[in-house]
Amino acid sequence: MKKDIHPKNYRLVVFKDMSNGTTFTTRSTVNTKETIEMEDGKEYPLVKLEISNTSHPFYTGKRKLVDSTGRVDKFMNKYKKHYEKRKKQQQ
């Protein structure tokens, strides 16, 4: 294995899922500008996530669309006529 290719500045960092507010702490080297004070009274660097294992449909088993950039809406608008036509055929 190559020597000295891994960073040495690991520290505790809090990751927060913004869709449900769940937080977890792990060691990381990610650079952040925000901090958060945890229950133990200490401040930790904060990384905000759009989705994590606590909100992702694969892990939760719930069929829920999480779309923060509007891609689902764009797709639905693009193929709206197709869906309406198919719906009429099924009735």
DSSP 12-66: EEEEEETTT--EEEEEE----SEEEE-TTS-EEEEEEES--TTT-HHHH------
- pLDDT band of residue 11 (cuts 50, 70, 90) is very high
pTM here is 0.61
Phi, psi of 81 (to 5 degrees): -60, -40
The pLDDT value given to residue 67: 59
Q: What tokens were used for 17? A: 């899922």
Q: Is a pLDDT exceeding 60 seen at residue 57?
A: yes
Q: Which residue reads 């925000």 in tokens? A: 34
